[in-house]
């Protein structure tokens, strides 16, 4: 399966993947998914957002256990973010059948559409739409860089955009959702003493516990436009110097409070090489394990901005998304050696959890710790550990036996 996907949507100049929702590449990936499901005798049904669900058993009789992830990518993304979860889910079906396991509850494999939001700007659009977290009218009017709306993209893909909307029936079929995903940091690749350790098999996978609280803030910093050649340094009010102070403050408060905080986007006015900046708008992204620590970081940055005559305004805030604690503890029972890991990245599993669906995640070690880049990686051995872990979890959740520790299940 991995070899089949390797070339789909890969840009030769960067080696990264460009798999954007409702494009030709996305169509090819969806066809591939449907084909793999058909090979396994699983019929694919689509919900109102176009997410693809393949069911082994009838989820209208009993809600099922769902595994899977997404096949789309960010611009020049890595091979693993998304596809690893989909491929592993299909591999779990094969493993169960090879072992003669017949699930007592339906087992679903899902391919969520448009998880990265790379084309229309809203991440997890497929899961947000079916849960109602993304309004259908708003979704239809979202545009890509070429000005094509999601509604137009749907029509171009031979679909009726009027069908976009919440899909409580699709949600009702999900008894539990377990998303396997490549880790997007280095927690598993680092030994407790901080050195690289890529061989410890007990750190090949982790059980996800929660998605960190995160938010975005807009920082406005005033200055005074003037000539870059004739204005004495002591006479200047340079908004770029304020920005530099704010960026450094952001870093040092984040370090001190144990968060991550980033200024990755700035808008400078007037924006001339030979003009002192009259105004800078910067955007702050802050996340962390502890919501009060994230808040304290932002408050400290706000105080710094205000000292410089600026303002900070919150644009979005998402509190901690806890995965279902009973499901997490069930995963822990099956995978007793796996570390517990919170994540600073958003996922469809988080959208479903927020909606009240019992959801959890499994992370597979990423030696580089890099994600959303061609440098993202996972070893074949660790990917196989991931499939084994997910198989053990699904075996536990889908059969009415007591939990089988993974060592024995393998
Ligand atoms: Zn992902």
What one-character-per-residue DSSP string does 206-273 give?
EEEEEE--EEEEEEEEE----BTTTS-GGG---HHHHHHHHHHHHHHHHHHHTEEEEEEEEEEES--T
Please tell me the distance between residue 98's alpha carbon and the centre of ligand 1 in angstroms. 28
β-bridge mates for residue 322, sequence order: 210
Please tell me the distance between residue 86's alpha carbon and the centre of ligand 1 in angstroms. 10
Please tell me the distance between residue 350's alpha carbon and the centre of ligand 1 in angstroms. 11
Please tell me the distance between residue 407's alpha carbon and the centre of ligand 1 in angstroms. 27
- Judged against a pLDDT cut of 60, whether residue 407 lies above it is answered with no
Please tell me the distance between residue 247's alpha carbon and the centre of ligand 1 in angstroms. 28
Please tell me the distance between residue 291's alpha carbon and the centre of ligand 1 in angstroms. 23
Q: What is the pLDDT of residue 401?
A: 56
Q: Which of 197-201, 233-237, 389-393 has the lowest mean pLDDT?
A: 197-201
pLDDT tens-digit map of 129-160: 999 999 999 999 999 989 999 999 999 999 99
Q: How far is CA 207 from the centre of its chain?
A: 15
* β-bridge pairing 321-322 and 205-211: antiparallel
* 407 contact partners, CB below 8 Å, separation of at least 6: none
Please tell me the distance between residue 311's alpha carbon and the centre of ligand 1 in angstroms. 34
Q: What is the mean pLDDT of residues 340-352?
A: 94
Q: How far apart are the first and last CA of the chain?
A: 21
Please tell me the distance from the alpha carbon of residue 108 to that of residue 280, in angstroms, as a whole number. 49
- Judged against a pLDDT cut of 70, whether residue 172 lies above it is answered with yes
Q: What is the pLDDT of residue 402?
A: 44
Q: Is 130 within 8 Å of 166 (Cβ atoms)?
A: yes
Q: What is the pLDDT of residue 302?
A: 98
pLDDT band at 256 (very low <50, low <70, confident <90, very high): very high
Q: What is the mean pLDDT of residues 299-304?
A: 98
Please tell me the distance between residue 16's alpha carbon and the centre of ligand 1 in angstroms. 15
Q: Is 363 within 8 Å of 383 (Cβ atoms)?
A: no
Question: Which residues in 17-32 are b (16+ Cβ under 10 Å) and which e?
Answer: bbbbbbbebbeebbeb
pLDDT above 70 covers a percentage of the chain that reads 97
Q: What is the mean pLDDT of residues 235-241?
A: 98
pLDDT band at 408 (very low <50, low <70, confident <90, very high): very low
* 167 contact partners, CB below 8 Å, separation of at least 6: 47, 48, 49, 129, 130
Please tell me the distance between residue 84's alpha carbon and the centre of ligand 1 in angstroms. 9
* β-bridge pairing 279-288 and 214-222: antiparallel
- Specify the 3-state DSSP secondary structure of 404: coil
Which contiguous run of DSSP H or E holds residue 91?
Answer: helix 83-98
Q: Is the dihedral of CA 163, 165, 166, 171 positive or negative?
A: positive
* β-bridge pairing 311-318 and 358-364: unpaired
The token duo for 116 is 């990265």
Please tell me the distance between residue 240's alpha carbon and the centre of ligand 1 in angstroms. 35
Please tell me the distance between residue 252's alpha carbon and the centre of ligand 1 in angstroms. 29
Please tell me the distance between residue 400's alpha carbon and the centre of ligand 1 in angstroms. 31
272: left (phi over 0), alpha (psi -120 to 50) or beta: beta
β-bridge mates for residue 282, sequence order: 219, 266
Q: What is the pLDDT of residue 403?
A: 38
Please tell me the distance between residue 272's alpha carbon and the centre of ligand 1 in angstroms. 38
Q: How many CB atoms lie within 10 A of CB 386?
A: 26
pLDDT tens-digit map of 366-384: 999 999 999 999 999 999 9
258: left (phi over 0), alpha (psi -120 to 50) or beta: left
Please tell me the distance from the alpha carbon of residue 159 to that of residue 22, in angstroms, as a whole number. 10
Please tell me the distance between residue 321's alpha carbon and the centre of ligand 1 in angstroms. 16
Please tell me the distance between residue 151's alpha carbon and the centre of ligand 1 in angstroms. 24
pLDDT band at 257 (very low <50, low <70, confident <90, very high): very high
What one-character-per-residue DSSP string does 126-152 give?
HHHHHHTSS-HHHHHH-B-TTS-BHHH
Q: DSSP label at 190?
A: B
* 188 contact partners, CB below 8 Å, separation of at least 6: 203, 204, 205, 206, 339, 341, 363, 364, 365, 366
pLDDT band at 400 (very low <50, low <70, confident <90, very high): low
Please tell me the distance between residue 118's alpha carbon and the centre of ligand 1 in angstroms. 12
- Judged against a pLDDT cut of 90, whether residue 273 lies above it is answered with yes
Q: What is the pLDDT of residue 122?
A: 87
Please tell me the distance between residue 74's alpha carbon and the centre of ligand 1 in angstroms. 9
CB-side exposure of 321: number of CA atoms within 13 Å? 26
Q: What is the mean pLDDT of residues 17-23?
A: 97
Please tell me the distance from the alpha carbon of residue 123 to that of residue 166, in angstroms, as a whole number. 16
Q: What is the mean pLDDT of residues 152-175?
A: 97
Please tell me the distance between residue 357's alpha carbon and the centre of ligand 1 in angstroms. 19
Please tell me the distance between residue 370's alpha carbon and the centre of ligand 1 in angstroms. 13
pLDDT tens-digit map of 190-224: 988 888 888 899 999 999 999 999 998 999 999 99
> How buried is 222 (Cβ within 10 angstroms: 0-12 exposed, 13-18 middle, 19+ buried)?
middle
- Judged against a pLDDT cut of 90, whether residue 292 lies above it is answered with yes
Q: What is the pLDDT of residue 405?
A: 41
pLDDT tens-digit map of 65-90: 999 999 999 999 999 999 999 999 99
Selection from 333, 390, 372 nearest residue 65 by Cα: 390
């Amino acid at each position: 399966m991995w070899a089949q996907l390797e070339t789909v949507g890969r840009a030769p100049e960067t080696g990264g993947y460009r798999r954007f929702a409702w494009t030709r590449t996305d169509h090819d990936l969806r066809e591939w998914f449907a084909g793999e499901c058909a090979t396994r005798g699983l019929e694919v049904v689509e919900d109102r957002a176009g997410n693809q669900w393949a069911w082994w058993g009838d989820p209208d009789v009993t809600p099922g256990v769902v595994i899977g992830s997404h096949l789309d990518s960010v611009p020049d993304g890595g091979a693993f973010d998304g596809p690893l979860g989909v491929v592993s889910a299909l591999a779990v079906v094969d493993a169960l059948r090879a072992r003669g396991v017949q699930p007592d509850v339906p087992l679903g494999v899902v391919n969520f559409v448009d998880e990265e939001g790379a084309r229309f700007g809203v991440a997890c659009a497929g899961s947000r739409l079916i849960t109602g977290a993304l309004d259908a009218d708003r979704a239809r009017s979202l545009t890509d860089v070429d000005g094509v709306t999601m509604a137009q993209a749907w029509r171009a893909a031979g679909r009726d955009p009027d069908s976009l909307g919440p899909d409580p029936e699709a949600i009702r079929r999900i008894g539990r959702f377990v998303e396997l995903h490549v880790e997007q940091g280095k927690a598993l690749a680092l030994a407790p003493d901080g050195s690289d350790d890529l061989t410890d098999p007990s750190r090949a996978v982790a059980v996800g516990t929660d998605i960190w609280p995160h938010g975005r803030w807009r920082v406005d910093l005033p200055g005074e436009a003037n000539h870059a050649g004739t204005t004495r340094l002591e006479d200047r009010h340079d908004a770029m110097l304020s920005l530099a102070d704010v960026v450094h403050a952001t870093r040092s408060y984040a370090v001190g409070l144990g968060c991550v905080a980033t200024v990755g986007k700035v808008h400078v006015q007037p924006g001339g090489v030979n003009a002192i900046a009259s105004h800078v708008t910067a955007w702050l992204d802050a996340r962390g394990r502890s919501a009060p620590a994230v808040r304290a970081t932002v408050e400290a940055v706000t105080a710094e901005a205000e000292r410089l005559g600026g303002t900070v305004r919150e644009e979005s805030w998402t509190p901690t998304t806890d995965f279902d604690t009973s499901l997490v503890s069930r995963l822990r029972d099956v995978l007793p050696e796996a570390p517990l890991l919170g994540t600073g990245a958003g996922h469809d599993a988080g959208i479903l959890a927020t909606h009240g669906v019992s959801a959890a995640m499994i992370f597979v070690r990423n030696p580089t710790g890099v994600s959303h880049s061609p440098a993202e990686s996972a070893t074949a051995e660790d990917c196989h550990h991931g499939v084994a872990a997910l198989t053990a979890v699904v075996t536990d959740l889908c059969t009415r036996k007591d939990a089988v520790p993974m060592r024995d299940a393998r």
